[in-house]
Structure formats: C-alpha cells, structure tokens
A and B are shown apart, each in its own frame.
Chain A
Amino acid sequence: MTDICLIFQVHQPYRLKDFPFDKIGKDHTYENTAHNTAILNRVSDRCYLPANRILLEAIKRFDGRLKVAFSVTGTALEQFFRYRPDVLDSFRDLSNTGCVEFLAETYYHSLASLHSPSEFRRQVVKHEKAVQSLLDVKPTVLRNTELLYADSMLPAIEALGFRTILTEGKKGNMSEGNPNEIHTSPDGKCRILVRNQELSDAISFPGTPLKAADYAGKLTKEAGSSICICLDYETFGEHQKQESGILDFLGRLPEETLKHSGLRFALPSDAALDGPDQKPVYHSPEWTSWSDEVKDLSAWYDNHMQKDAQKQLFNCELSLLSLGKPELFDAWGRLQSSDHFYHMSTRYSRDPVHKAFNPYASPYDAYLNFMNVLSDFRGLIHKG
C-alpha cells in the first residue's frame, strides 16, 4: 500500500507599496492595504473557497478516505482573520473533519533559518500559536519556508520539539535516490518526508490539460511507501485559471486515486510512521529548497542585492531585542517574507514562474523599493 500525501502551501505576503526615497523618515506605513486586500479577495474567490469546498465535499463523499495537509503561513492566516473570515471558516470546517493536517512553518514565510536560528525559533513558535488559536490544531510536522533545509538546521528543529520534517526530494541528498520513502536525518533523530518533484510539478506546470485518471495511473507506477505531492495551493484557480480545468482535476483526483487498491491518502504525520526500520538517509550539507531546477538558495540568496538586503535586515535583530517593541518586531517579520527577495532575482527575472505576481518591472526596482523601506525602518529603530 502506498501513502499519498497531498500537501498544499497557502501563502499571502504583505506586499510593499511604492516607497520612493523621499518617503524615508516621513512615512512609516510600508504596505498598500487596498492592493493586498484586492489580491487576497481575488485568490480567495478563485482558489481558496472553491478548492476548500471541493475538498470538503470529497472528504464527506469518501467517508474520510481523502486526507490533505496544508501549510498556511502566519501572514496568510492574519489576513484571512482580518479581511476574509469566510476563508478561515472554510479551513476550520476542513480541520473539523479530522482528515486535514496543518503543518508548522515560519510565521512570516521568512528566510530566518539562513540568518538567525533565534528568529527562526521565535517565528515557528508564533506560527504554532496562530494555528492553534485560529484552527484549533497543533502542528507536529515542520516544513520550513520554501522547503529550505540543511543538516545544520537539525539542532534548532529538534530543540523546537519536531521529529518530522518535510523538504525537497533533491537528487544527491537521498541515500537511495527514491523520494517515495520516508528518510531519516543523519543523526537518526528526525524522520524526513521528501517532496516528489516530478509528480508535484506535473500538477503545477502541466504541459497538456491534466486528467485525474492518467495522474492516478502514474501514482500506481511509483515504487515506495509514500509519495509527497507538495505544491502551492494557489495553483488551483489562480496560477492556473478555472477555465484550464484545474479545479475539476482536483475534484476528480480523490475518486480516481481511490479506485486503485494499492493507493491510499495519508496525513504526513501518519505517513512518517510507516516505512521500514532501516530508513534511507537524507543528507543535505548545503542548503536545499524546492525552487527552480537547481533546488538551492539561488532564487532568494544569490546576487549582491539579495545578500545586501538580507544582511541589512537581519542586522536589526539585536537592536530590536533591546527595544522590545512588539509592533517593530512585527514590521521586521513582514519584511522577512521570502517574496521580497524572490523579486530581486536577476538570474530568473525572465522566467515566467518568477514573473507571476511580481509587482516590479525589474529586480532593481524590487531592491530599491525594499531598501527605501528598510532605511525608514532602521530610522525607526534608531529613534527607539
């Protein structure tokens, strides 16, 4: 029997408003709320609500045999809470079925793991609290922002109490090369679920219109105990519009999958308990992510601008700790969202996947806008 784990990332950042240099020191609001809300409303109506409805119906129809996991960022939860409580309710309805798991991650979709283990810890805890208070569940599986992972993170992960994590099925990291097995960390303390890149991308970037029956057929041909299909939830109705038939695909997938006796849906926390005692080892001496072909940091931490912006941003930590102002901490967290740095990528600036949702005309514009905001923010810290 092969476990199928469907894991959907739900994320909405706080996009920055146009912040030219003459606002530095004068304007301390960095976001265009109307713009962010407009996007939130659009994606809610096109994706979150209809897709949640489809999943809820399927769970009922198949009597709990469909199981799904979500990782919802803190910034998304916050915006649902404020502007779209109906979306939050629909996630709660899913949660109440007992067939849905919510994963832990950084609150602000932050790159903190690269720069500050202490900030990473704070954010995972903050996210955990938000999930508990808004969705009434306690996450037990951790997925870091963008599936970022390196062996060096293990102490921080273990200190937070997590024993199961999700990362990318990057070739070369898996001792036996099969992403469809539960792996173990080199120290043997953590179970590692790895994303099946090929099958995940087959949904995210389909060459031809997807057919649920064909896709389920593909699943039966995979060897291994569990298959993690992990992608942006916005794929369903936003990245790919409803007219493409993507929501129908989502609706048909449970039935087509459950037709095969060798397949069953599983929650990541349950799937992680399966598999042989002698697990293959997942070893990532360098940073791994789920991005692009290279599966490394290059989408967010590559050129001078990205490195400079992150260095300046994370340099604020000590001053913030000594000031102890929660509102400044919150503003700092929002600036950590990986989206800001993704838009600064020069390597991928012509890639259509990177262009989607990019509000900036060029990586240079993205960097300058961010740096102007950061200059103002640093001014606030300086003033105390």
Chain B
Amino acid sequence: MKKNVKVLMLGWEFPPFLTGGLGVACQGLAEALSRYAEIEVFLPQTEKPLRTEGLTLRGMNWFGLPDEPGADMEIPLRPLEEFARIRRMPVSVPRPYPLGIGIEKEAVALRTPEAIRALYSGAEPYGPNIMQKVATYTEVAVRMAMETDFDLIHAHDWLTFPAAIRIRELSGKPLVLHVHSLESDRVGIEACGDWNSVYEVEKKAMETADRIIPVSRYTQECATRYYGIPEGRFYPVHNAINPEDSFRIENRSGEKLVLFLGRVTFQKGPEFMVETAWKLLQVYPNVLFFVAGVGDMLERLKALVLERKIDHKFVFAGFLSQSNVKKVLAQADVYFMPSVSEPFGLSALEAAQYDVPCVISKQSGVAEVLPNALNADFWDTGKFANYIYGLLNYDGIRKDMVEKTKEDLAKLSWDESARDVMEVYHSLGI
C-alpha cells in the first residue's frame, strides 16, 4: 500500500520503558501502522533513536544531541504562551502509578537540553515530578512538531494530550485521540471533577479531538458516562497481541496456581482477589495465589491477607521481567483479573496465549474479544470463587475454554487493528 499518510504520534510508554499495557499497545500499533503510513513517534524516552522504514522514534532523552531534534534550536526554549492547564494534581486519592508522596502542585517545564535529557533518563516514567515531565514534554513536543511534516496527530493517553491539543491549534491538523485508560478507571469515579487536572485534560482533549479511539466499547461507555462525551464521536479499536510460541512448564508444587498479574492498585481490584481467595480456600485449600506486580495497595493487600489468615496461600513476587512473566504464565492454572475498571487488559490476552483460562471482571474491555473467558462483576467474589473452583476441579471446561479461546485469539492481530485505525484516518479525508 502506498504510504502517503504522515502521522505524528505522541506516546508516553514504549518498550523497554513501560509499567503496563500502554507501552505494549503503543508499540504494537505503531509497528503495524508503519506498513500503511509514515509514523513518527515522540516519546519521553527511547532506548536509542530509531529510524526505520515507516517508523521513527524520537526520545526526548536524546534532545539537543547532534542529529537529534533540538540540536539547532534556540536555547533556552521560550515558554509557550498558553501552557496546557496542568497545575494541580489530586493528591487526596490513591494514585495508580508509583508517584510517591509530595507530588508537586505547580509544574514548570525545563528548557535546557541538558535538563530535558536528564529529566527523561531515569528508570521511572512517572514519579513525583510527573507534572514537570508532562509540562516539559508538552513544550518540547510542540517545538519538535514545528520542525516536522505531518498530516495528523495521534496521541496516546492524557500525558500527551496537552501537547496534542496545542499542536492541533498551531498546525491546524486533525487530532486523533487514543484512549487506553481514563481517570475514572485508574483512580475511580470519585476522581472525576474539575478539581482534578488530569480529568480536566482528558475531558478537554476528548471535547476538542476530531476522532476518539477507545480501546474498547467499555471505555467508550466510561467516556460517555463520566466525561459527557457524545456517543457518536467514538471509533473503538481493540488491542491485539503478536503471535508467539507459548510453552507449558509442569507445576510440581502439587498446589494449583492462580495468577494475578498487574499493578497492585485500586483499579485492579486486589481486595476482591483476597475476598475471592478466602471464599475458595474455605472449601478448597489446594491452591496458591501468585501476585506479580507492585503498586500503592501492595502493603494493604499483604495486611489483608494476614488478617484473613491466608497469608501462607499467597506469594508476592513483585515486579517481574517479561521472561519471568512467561515462566509463571506457563505454570499457571487460572489467570484472575478482578479489575474494578479495566479499559482493555492486555495481560489477559497474554495469559490466553499461554493456554491459561481467564477469569475476568465484566468491567474489562478485553472481555469483548475473549468471549470464552469467564466473567463476573468485580464485586461478585462468590461467582469468581465458583469459577476458579470449577476450572481447578473439572477438566471439561478448561479444555473447551482453551480451544475456543485459541480461535478467538486467531481473530486478533495488530495488523487488523492498524487497518481499523487507518479507516479512522481516512474518515478525516486523509
């Protein structure tokens, strides 16, 4: 296909720098899209600058170095007249990312190349200075965009939305928003108010954008319900997964393994996992809950498990590397995702790829592409326990779910998602 569409993509996470599904999805989509369009991605951090056929990655951790953007720029950058309105962060609610305490309330963008490079060279894509990172990203991205030739802007999640709105204003090019998650998912619906700058940014961006791509119909419904965005503005495109040769490792522990994989935050419903585990263990003790991930609720989760006297049935493995995740998946008997609000839930696809039957909440976008997973409302721990009990005790259901899920996975591909996104581009007359 002729690659005549030039896309300026604004992203935040990109492998190997990631904490969750956002980076994986951004990479999967950008790579697949590069077969149909010229994709240039602005990121806070890349492993190295990348220029391949169709795909260019520009990391701000390289900003100002020879042959990189900013090398010839006037230094220091002039502050933008109208800095995107990120001034306050809601600090009274639990934060989804490991931000730590003492989040700055006022953010000032950094302007020297050295300071910009240093800001994005750490291991933490978020952290307590997240607002400074976003503010700086906004100014740098706008400058870089002025030097770039593109037909449209495609921005992933709120961190890039201030830059996206500004670039749209300055360039007059259409803006496509890609919504991987919302404040209503990450923090909860109590975070939806104009006192929350992140909520405000999301709302303004969705109101301004020419097209909105939510990662599921579920996310679309959340945007309508909690942000008041009219239904007709959405073009949902599901995430996908690259085919991979999965493997199984025999679990010799004698105990069945139920896997929880993801950030241990309010959004992922860890409390409902404990409640489910407790109900299951009253009847069926031969099971171990393996928790892979960190987050602001980890300590609370450990305390809960102790309180319920089921701590000997839990393993807290912390954050696992991709290769270790795969080893655990290869031994798991059930993948359990009781998320309170999950826009998509890529890790469930990964589990499915490893032939692990999934028990997931109905408040999960991924349920739309995994019709052969078992689902219940996130609070319905009795039903979750019943499902897990069944999967651990009855052979028939495991075999059928795995077989049918293979067929469901075969229907998903990043190429298919990319072609859906191209149709959204074309709908803009591009």
CB <8 Å contact, A305 and B397:
yes
With an 8 Å Cβ cutoff, the count of chain B residues facing the other chain is 23
Residues of B contacting A22 in the complex (Cβ-Cβ under 8 angstroms)? 279, 282-283, 382, 385-386
Q: Most chain-B Cβ atoms within 10 A of its Cβ — which of A24, A367, A368?
A: A368
Q: What residues of chain A have their CB less than 8 Å away from a CB belonging to chain B? A: 20-22, 24, 303-309, 346, 362-364, 367-368, 371-372, 375
Interface positions, chain B 360-395, Cβ under 8 Å from A, are 372, 374, 382-383, 385-387, 389-390, 393-395
Chain B minimum-CB-distance residue to A306: B396
Interface assignment of B105: CB less than 8 Å from any CB of chain A: no
Contacting residue for B396 out of A21, A24, A304, A372, CB 8 A: A304
Q: Most chain-B Cβ atoms within 10 A of its Cβ — which of A21, A362, A363?
A: A21
CB <8 Å contact, A368 and B390:
yes
Q: What residues of chain B have their CB less than 8 Å away from a CB belonging to chain A? A: 279, 282-284, 372, 374, 382-383, 385-387, 389-390, 393-397, 399-401, 403-404
CB <8 Å contact, A21 and B386:
yes
In the complex, what distance in Å separates the CA atom of A371 from the CA atom of B404? 20
| Count, A-B residue pairs, CB within 8 A | 61
Known A22-B382, A364-B372, A368-B397; 16 more pairs at CB < 8 Å: A20-B382, A21-B385, A22-B282, A22-B283, A22-B385, A24-B283, A303-B400, A304-B396, A308-B396, A309-B396, A346-B404, A364-B400, A367-B394, A371-B394, A372-B390, A375-B393
Q: Most chain-A Cβ atoms within 10 A of its Cβ — which of B390, B401, B404?
A: B390
Contacting residue for A21 out of B389, B399, B403, CB 8 A: B389
CB <8 Å contact, A368 and B283:
no
Give min CB distance, B310 to chain A, whole Å.
Answer: 16
Give min CB distance, A300 to chain B, whole Å.
Answer: 14
CB <8 Å contact, A307 and B386:
no
Question: Can you offer 28 A-B residue contacts whose CB atoms are under 8 A?
Answer: A21-B283, A21-B284, A21-B389, A21-B390, A22-B279, A22-B283, A22-B385, A24-B283, A304-B395, A304-B396, A304-B399, A304-B400, A304-B403, A305-B397, A306-B396, A308-B394, A308-B396, A346-B400, A364-B400, A367-B396, A368-B386, A368-B390, A368-B394, A368-B397, A371-B393, A371-B394, A371-B396, A375-B393
CB <8 Å contact, A364 and B401:
yes
Residues of B contacting A305 in the complex (Cβ-Cβ under 8 angstroms)? 396-397, 400
CB <8 Å contact, B386 and A364:
no
Residues of A contacting B394 in the complex (Cβ-Cβ under 8 angstroms)? 308, 367-368, 371
Residues of A contacting B282 in the complex (Cβ-Cβ under 8 angstroms)? 22
Residues of A contacting B393 in the complex (Cβ-Cβ under 8 angstroms)? 371, 375
Q: Most chain-B Cβ atoms within 10 A of its Cβ — which of A22, A305, A364, A371?
A: A364
Chain A minimum-CB-distance residue to B371: A362
Chain B minimum-CB-distance residue to A349: B371
In the complex, what distance in Å separates the CA atom of A24 from the CA atom of B393? 13
Give min CB distance, B199 to chain A, whole Å.
Answer: 34
Give min CB distance, A109 to chain B, whole Å.
Answer: 21
Chain B minimum-CB-distance residue to A374: B394
Q: Most chain-A Cβ atoms within 10 A of its Cβ — which of B279, B284, B389, B401?
A: B389
Residues of B contacting A368 in the complex (Cβ-Cβ under 8 angstroms)? 386-387, 390, 394, 397
In the complex, what distance in Å separates the CA atom of A371 from the CA atom of B387? 12
In the complex, what distance in Å separates the CA atom of A375 from the CA atom of B393? 10
In the complex, what distance in Å separates the CA atom of A305 from the CA atom of B389? 15
Give min CB distance, A316 to chain B, whole Å.
Answer: 16
Residues of A contacting B396 in the complex (Cβ-Cβ under 8 angstroms)? 303-309, 367, 371
